[in-house]
Structure 1
Amino acid sequence: MTKASALELPRVGQWHDADELRALQEERIPQALEWAAEAPYYRRTLGDTSRVRTIEDLAELPTITKNDLRAAYPLGLLAVSRERLATYHESSGTSGRPTSSFFTAGDWLDVVDRFTRSSIGLTASDTLLVRTPYAMLPTGHQAHQAGLYTGATVIPADNRTLVVTHARIVQLLRDLDVTVAWCMPTECLLWAAAAREAGLRADRDFPALRGIMAVGEPLSPARRDLIQRVWGGVPVVQDYGSTETGSLAGECAQGRLHLWTDRFVAEVLDPATGRSSATGTGQLTITTLYREAMPLVRYNLEDQVRISTPDCDCGWRLPAIEVLGRDATSCMLGGTRITQSALEGLVYTRLADQGVMFWRARAAGTTLEIELEVADEHRGGAEDALDEAVRDRFGIDCRIRGVPIGSLVPIEALTRQPEFVKPRNLFGAGEDWNKAVTYW
């Protein structure tokens, strides 16, 4: 057993109030900073941390952002020897250069332990469908390892493979009596549409499914309600995390998303002033307390959040967080900021009876254009209802257009079952040798 895996991780119930939780955090701060100082990046930037002992002291240290992580690629934030590493991961690199993420075996125990706190309550009786990326990103591996840890049967379906299509997922859900799905919220709607094309109903024909763990996208209350309605009341439970950290927050039985602040210090940062606080609205900034391979000191995720400390009957005694998204999920139109979450709320609440699942919107000059898939018989009513709602909510001009089912999400994307073959070099007479080497 490695040094990191031998650490005794805190357990929910170990602290009884905010003061005891704070004491637990501050006990770990010196060790966390000592670990961080082993990384080349932090050796250059942290300076003397010997006087940093309290949460307030952390504010004296510089913050780090995803741009700094990109600049440190690939090994600048590695704080242990290569022999200690268990896995190496990267972000998807959608913004250019990827970021790295490292885990020791002990780090993975921490990640899995946090993940399994979720109110979904994975057990050995569950069949867990993992439908998030496995390739380089840690999200699929996090759920996979948690499934093994709890004894559940894991189906590694991935969502970046051409082999496991939406139609194949529908088949797996039914044939293997999947009880819990770990996926992006949009996947749930795509599966429901694929089930419809297969002559099935999501709210009736998947009786084993008892819970959906949603991750990787903003989950507005309206979208959550829609997914639960489409799937016949199956609970949708949110998990919040990142490539660099694994799970940062999970949902309790009361429906609140709680930060795992026994494993890291959380700050709400005002980027305009540089000031931070434990609660309020701003950008989430964290300092890890048990991460050894890649300690993060005041890492600003740049996610806009709201942190509070409500009394919650769950008994976890952890701060609650609302993830408000990023500027990338909003746009300015005529001096008004339009957020995806607010617009989504209008689409899914005002059009709840029209069966709308898929839509898109864009700013076009001073007008907001919205297209939505809707059945012919509901088109006129849906357009009028959403037009009125958008104008009332935002005070802007809009152009709403209902389009036929299959216009935004092609039917073929929901039903296709492509043929895949193993690479080969020798072909018989009449065989298609254009398939040499490739997989399809």
Structure 2
Amino acid sequence: MTEPLPRLGEWNSIDELLESQDKPLARTLSWAARSPFYAARFASAVPPATREELAALAPTTKQDLRDAYPFGLLAVPKEKLATYHESSGTAGQPTPSYYTEEDWTDLAERFARKHVGITPSDTLLVRTPYALLLTGHLAHAAARLRGATVVPADNRSLATPCSRVIRALHDLKVTLTWSMPTECLLWAAGARAAGYDPGTDFPALRALFVGGEPLTRARRERIARTWNARVVEEYGSTETGSLAGECPQGRLHLWADRALFEVFDPATGAFSAEGAGQLVVTTLYREAMPLVRYNLEDTVEVSHRHCPCGWHLPTVRVLGRTAFGHPVRGRTVTQHRLEELVFGLPDADEVLFWRARAEPDVLRVQIEAAPDRRRGAADRLTRAVGAELGVPVRVEALPPGSIVPSDVLGAMPDVVKPRSLFGPDEDWSKALLYQ
């Protein structure tokens, strides 16, 4: 791939952008035909090359990727690969994903499209896995592309417990972070346990980049107020890299200059450019493992309506698993709706952590709340759930440390290298294990 990648501002409307997809689409389909999987699926000497021919193809599913493990989707000589990854899915089967060095240029540039900017003066703490998943490596590459300093904090590893993250955030004057939204709440509790005020004792922190789980408006606003920093959302996957980023107006935009997007309605089997349904992706600049009509199975809402940011890109609302719920007395309770109510409680209640169980006849909710606010917080949430969801509810307000144990926030375990020789009074059952 030698041609320049598209840049924001090179098109003046969504229609103009969509027209520009035709050339890279034809090339992507020819690349895909090199892989064993798509060569068999296309089942002809001439691969499809147009949108019309694309529309006749069956979607690529997650199970297709699993069945093609490990290299059934490889479209380049193996010597050209730069990295190999696997998704964090829970199906029990690996979902492979791989990229060339040129593919990585595209990956890093997409992630670096943060409207707050990533600059050489920034220090970015990466708190997602440096493992088979793409996420940690992607943020690291994007930060280095922009000249920033990277703090590779990994995710809940022995080497980087929450307490060490808090120390790094404070002492290294971290300006940007990348994590799941839940991590930001864990850090806030950990900072308070260490004697810090997250809103005032981390003045260098200017933005929290978050992704990896659905984020409600109420939780987003709570995180921003708690840390006195902007919250910037990102959407993507290990199979695709970054798919959408947030504009200055606070809306998520699909990177439609780098991928072709469709919306699939599983109820009707119809595909469309806009509307609600499952997001389907055709990559446009990925050579190692082109994906053609890949169904992410994430529930989304896509719109081509104008956005004042001027990016001229489709907007997307990612619902993910929030579209699914559990019945209580004939009504469906979703995490999305319940989370809005939990984080709608006053900040003074200090509710950061909660859990709920939807039983056939009652919704049971537990929250951690400030000691002198527990009864009031439980009463307020009980009324809100009854009014908004219309289901019987029992709310129990617990002391801090009941849902997220205190040792998760404050422990600083030693990381000991494995050994085989022990003294007479030592526990040799831990031989060869990290402790």
1:329-368 to 2 correspondences below 5 Å: 330-368=325-363
Residues 136-145 or 312-321, more deviating: 312-321
Distance 2:393 2:197 in 1: 34
> How far apart are residue 262 of structure 1 and its match?
0.6
- The alignment status of 1:374 with 2:369, answered yes or no, reads yes
Pairing 1:262-273 to 2, within 5 Å after superposition: 262-273=257-268
Secondary structure in structure 2 of the residue aligned to 1:326? helix
Aligned equivalent of 2:29: 33
Match of 1:113 in 2: 109
Give the partner amino acid of 2:34. Answer: E
Contact 2:327/2:359 (CA < 8 Å) preserved in 1? no
Q: Is the 8 A contact 1:351 1:386 kept in 2?
A: no
TM-score normalized by structure 1? 0.95
Q: Which residue of 1 aligns with 2:381?
A: 386
Q: Does 1:205 align with 2:201?
A: yes
Which residue in the other structure is 1:72 paired with? 68
| Residue in structure 2 matching 1:276, options 242, 263, 271 | 271
Q: What SS does the aligned partner of 1:350 have? A: coil
Give the SS at the match of 1:349: coil
Stretch moving more, 336-345 or 48-57? 48-57
Q: TM-score when scaled to structure 2?
A: 0.96
- After alignment, is 416-425 or 249-258 more displaced? 416-425
The amino acid across from 1:133 in the alignment is P
Q: Secondary structure of the residue that 2:16 maps to in structure 1?
A: helix
One-letter identity of the residue aligned with 2:68: A
- What corresponds to 1:402 in structure 2? 397
CA–CA separation in structure 2 for the residues paired with 1:328 and 1:255? 21
Give runs of ≥4 in structure 1 deviating > 6 Å.
428-432
Aligned mates of 1:335, 1:54 — CA distance in 2: 47
Please say if residues 279 and 296 of structure 2, whose CA atoms lie closer than 8 Å, have aligned partners that are also in contact.
yes
Number of residue-to-residue matches in the alignment: 435
Change (3 A) 1:19 1:365: closer
Query: Which has the larger displacement, 129-138 or 309-318?
Result: 309-318
Q: Which residue number corresponds to residue 411 of structure 1? A: 406
Inter-CA distance 168–247: structure 2 relative to 1 (3 Å threshold): same
Cα separation, partners in 2 of 1:57 and 1:327, compared to 1, 3 Å: farther
Q: Secondary structure at the match of 1:87?
A: strand
Q: Aligned partners of 1:303, 1:178: CA distance in 2, in Å? A: 32
Structure 1 position 311 matched with structure 2 position 306: yes
Label 1:384 to 1:429 Cα distance change in 2 as closer, same or farther (>3 A): closer
Q: Does 1:101 align with 2:94?
A: no
Indicate the SS of the match to 1:266.
Answer: strand
For the residues of structure 2 that align with 1:243 and 1:421, how far apart are their CA atoms? 31
Deviation of 1:157 after TM superposition, in Å, equals 0.6
What's the CA shift for 1:127? Answer: 0.4
Deviation readout 1:180-223 (Å, 9 max, x if unpaired): 00001000000010111111110011111011000111111111
1:148 maps to amino acid: R
Cα deviation code 1:98-156 (max 9, x no counterpart): 20001000110001111111113101100010000111001000000011111101011
Q: How big is the shift at 1:431?
A: 6.6
For 1:49 and 1:355, the matched residues in 2 are separated by 63
What is the one-letter code of the residue matched to 1:208? A
Q: Deviations over 1:273-328 (max 9, x none)?
A: 11111111111001111111111110111111111123223221100101012268
Confirm whether residue 220 of structure 1 aligns to residue 216 of structure 2: yes
Which of 13, 18, 23 aligns to 2:19? It is: 23
Aligned to 1:253: 248
Instruction: Give, in whole Å, the separation in 1 of the partners of 2:8 and 2:348.
Output: 42
Unpaired stretches in structure 2, ≥5 consecutive residues = none
Structure 2 residue 38 is matched with structure 1 residue 61:
no
Question: Could you tell me whether the CA contact under 8 Å between 2:30 and 2:47 is conserved in 1?
Answer: no
Task: Kindly state the Cα deviation for residue 362 of structure 1 after the two structures are TM-superposed.
Answer: 1.1
Distance in 1, Cα, partners of 2:45 & 2:135: 32
Please name the residue that 1:122 is paired with. 118
C-alpha displacement of 1:341: 1.1
Give the alignment partner of residue 44 of structure 1, picking from 18, 40, 52.
40
Amino acid in structure 2 at the alignment position of 1:318 = L
Aligned to 1:287: 282
Q: Please give the per-residue CA displacement for 1:312-354, whole angstroms capped at 9, x wherever unaligned.
A: 2322110010101226852233332211111100111134441
**Alignment pair present for 1:89 and 2:89:** no
Given that 2:176 and 2:205 are in contact with CA atoms closer than 8 Å, whether structure 1 keeps it comes out as: yes
Deviation at 1:95, TM superposition (A): 2.3
Q: Secondary structure at the match of 1:102?
A: strand
Give the whole-Å Cα distance in 2 for the aligned partners of 1:354 and 1:404: 11
Match of 2:147 in 1: 151
Partner of 1:145, secondary structure, is helix
2:302 is equivalent to residue 324 of structure 1: no
Q: Secondary structure at the match of 2:82?
A: strand
Matched, 1:9 2:5: yes
Unaligned runs of 5+ in 1: none
What does residue range 152-231 of structure 1 map to in structure 2 within 5 Å? 152-231=148-227
SS of the aligned residue for 2:158 comes to: coil
**SS of residue matched to 2:279:** strand
